[in-house]
Chain A
Amino acid sequence: MPKLIAMQPKRLGAIAAATIMLAAFGGAEALAASPRATENKMILVARQDPGTLDYVTSNLTALRLWIPSNVVEPLVYFEKDGTVTPGVAESWTISDDRLTYVFTIREAKFSNGAPLTVEDVIYSLNTMKSSPVLQNSAAYNAVTAIEKVDDRTVKVTLSRPSQAFWAGMGSTAGLIQPEAAAGSIATDPIGTGPYKLVKYTTNSAFEFTANPEYWGPAPAIKDVTVRIVTDGTAGLNALEAGEVDAIPVNTIDLWEQLVKREFDKKFTLVTDPQIGEPTYAVINQKIDPELRQAIAGTLDRQAYNDAFGAAWGAENTCTFALPNQPWYQPENAESCPYPYDLEGAMKTILEKGFNTLPLEYASLSDVPDLSLPADIMVPTLQAAGLNVTRNAIDLARYSQLIFQGRPPQFDITVMSGDAEPGQWSCPTPDKAGWSTYCSADYTDALAQADVATSDEEYLALMQKAADILRKDAVIVPLIAKKGVGLFDVDLKGFTEPKVAVAVELRALHW
């Protein structure tokens, strides 16, 4: 005992010293600012490489996260509170009958130093009007003329009022590019945005720097690098090691790991529906409607949600939408015409003889957040008595088979992507979306919504369209996933995207 008592002060001293050291070094590590903060830079992580930066012909999320809004601006911006603020157009007037839009173009320069002209605006709008991307061209369905009024004014005339046109002018359909640089859009898009693209290296990185010609206040962070790290775990490791400052979009397959490794405590976790995605099954429209409904009845949404172990960021739904869209509804008896009922589905399959029909499930093998649902769906369909085989293919073959396959080259698949209801409209069968889904009723409902003259009318018609989509059991939503971002605690200013899903780089600051 005396020895123990005699040693206690020393031990206490050692413990105290160790505690101070730990606090000093541990605390310093926890509080250490990113080295990029002092250099006014930041490094972000992207999970996917878009392959092309041509936003006219491609609507890949991997592209739309970075180029719109940051490099190329639309005519106007729609703010979160519903107000409309100037973009490339510094002012505008809309006729009372909503058939004539007159935009006054600001005196500004593109990031390559060329002056912004009315001719560039007319060229850009006409280019988007003929874009192969339906979300872009659909905004111009009612447009009959795009004309120059004077050197700073453009007039757009519509044949009927169109919600889609006005919404499009604040989205990718309204992006303005210089006609002279259109040839290099796939690798070096030019715009009037706060940043200019310095370099894009395929499968490696985007490098941005503040655009010296930008008409607005300069962004807080001058140089931004977006590293393309396809391995999600490697991206998280890089963030933990301080090699990067943020991962603005984390796919659902990482959410459970993210929480288990306490990234939500060590970094700023932001959740935002707008950069989220619905996950949905697509059933070939040619399949008997009763079989489609039976297949829809085998889908246990809670199982899909639980499989990702991240119920905090995903909600079960039967509506093709995200929670920030007013016609969205979570899974409930009213919004789900074909709720999970495996026994009922099995009975129908057996009674109607659907069990003898060979079905092919096209499965994307190299995208974890889509292969996991397939791992649940295929055995469940087989357990329900269906003769389903799984055709596992990579993204390149999937694009060829699913997006370009005419007639449809699959029976069932699962997808995750934009919550844009217009992508399923088909004014003519040849305009059908990638799944070749085409419903006259649904298209009509969307067309009626497009000419709505009030927000209430628009919402009611969009709800009607969503209902048609649900009952058709071709596009069968499973879960609505929020966008989940991780940011260095000192990197602040994340705001919801203004242009589609674009990460607003200009708003971020140390």
Chain B
Amino acid sequence: MSTIAPTARPIRPKRRLQLNASLVVGVALTIGFLVIAIVSFFWLPSNPNIPVIKDRLLPPGTAGHLLGTDVLGRDVIAQLMVGSRTSILVGAGGASIALILGTITGLAAAAYGKIADELISRGADIMLSIPGMVTALVLAATMGSGALTTILALSAFFTPSFTRVIRSAALSVLQEDFITAARLYGRGKLFILARHVLPNIAGVMIVQFTLYFAAGILTEAGLSYLGVGVTRPQISWGMMLNEAQQQVGISSPLAVWPGLAIVFVVLGLNLLGDGLRDVLDPKLKRRTA
């Protein structure tokens, strides 16, 4: 035993350092993304929707247009900045609605008996069997494309996943002794769920939210790329990719910038989610302790 402890203990700081590094990078990228979006409300290099034909297709590095201009002479940086707003609106909007609905249904499935559990779980299974992109395309065809449609589509196919995860986490907490104690003390189900279960699954919820926020941004970009997401005057990075597609043979960097923006933001949110999971997940904490 005395030989095991010295070899096992030195691993801990290294592991923590790795986890913290991913959290730090994730936080840095995500804060950078949020700051850019906030700044875009107060300052933009130029109007991202007003064409300036004489400045069309300026290369990166041009004075006043660090990343160049698009086919109508609109500044790429200004478009990327406004595009970050759309990403936040749609990604966070879709993930938030799904989080709220998924939490309600997940807790109900966990706490309100077998029939409720079966109904909700099988409902979630059915919804998960429908490809999310198809849901989005159908909604876009019936309601018209736009940010609201995309948010609804995202919440429709994120909610079942949230339901499953919340249900699973809640079931685990509901088996704890302090829950039994609360029941014996006469507390109702709603009180137990709100006072004891929710705080104990908050970490899982936050982690899931960050991951689905990233997935929402990716899906929104995909839908806008296909032409069924947002349309101008709103700007999306996926829309910028779509517009750049016709210019690939003329001005290749136009397709690079929105692509890089998507990569960094999604990477940042995923690292943030991973880092938060490492910090907040009690099981992981126990394992590393």
Q: Which residues of A contact B (CB under 8 A)?
A: 231-233, 236, 253-254, 256-257, 260-261, 303, 306-307, 309, 363, 365-366, 368, 372, 374-376, 378-380, 383, 390-394, 396-397
Contact = CB atoms under 8 A, between A and B. Distances in A.
A392 B231 contact: yes
Interface stretch (B17-25, B128-136, B244-252): B244-252
Contacts of A379: 47, 49-51, 233
B256 interface: no
Given A233-B248, A253-B246, A368-B246, A394 B228 contact: yes
Given A365-B227, A392-B232, A397-B144, A307 B249 contact: no
Interface in B223-260: 227-228, 231-233, 245-250
A401 B87 CA distance: 30
Contact of A257 (B50, B144, B246): B246
Contact of B72 (A231, A254, A372): A372
B56 interface: yes
Given A253-B246, A365-B145, A375-B232, A306 B227 contact: no
11 contacts: A256-B250, A309-B56, A309-B57, A309-B71, A366-B227, A375-B51, A378-B233, A391-B144, A392-B145, A396-B141, A397-B141
Contact of A307 (B51, B141, B146): B51
Nearest to B251: A260
Contacts of B246: 232-233, 253-254, 257, 368
Contacts of B227: 365-366, 394
A390 B51 contact: no
B27 to A, nearest CB: 36
A390 B56 contact: no
A374 B247 CA distance: 18
B50 A307 contact: no
B53 interface: yes
B244 to A, nearest CB: 11
A376 B145 contact: no
B210 to A, nearest CB: 31
Size bin of chain B's contact surface: 20 to 34
Helix, strand, loop or mixed for chain B's interface? Answer: loop
Helix, strand, loop or mixed for chain A's interface? Answer: helix
A307 B71 contact: yes
Interface in B16-50: 47, 49-50
Given A307-B51, A396-B141, 10 more contacts: A233-B246, A236-B249, A253-B246, A257-B247, A303-B51, A303-B53, A309-B57, A378-B233, A390-B231, A392-B146
Contact of B249 (A231, A261, A393, A396): A261
Given A307-B53, A394-B145, A375 B72 contact: yes
A412 to B, nearest CB: 15
Interface in B71-86: 71-72
B79 to A, nearest CB: 12
Contacts of A380: 51
B232 A378 contact: yes
Contacts of B231: 363, 365, 390, 392
Contacts of A366: 227
A299 to B, nearest CB: 13
Given A253-B246, A306-B56, A376 B228 contact: no
A378 B72 CA distance: 13
Nearest to A254: B246
B249 A233 contact: yes
Contacts of B72: 307, 372, 375-376
Contacts of B145: 365, 392-394
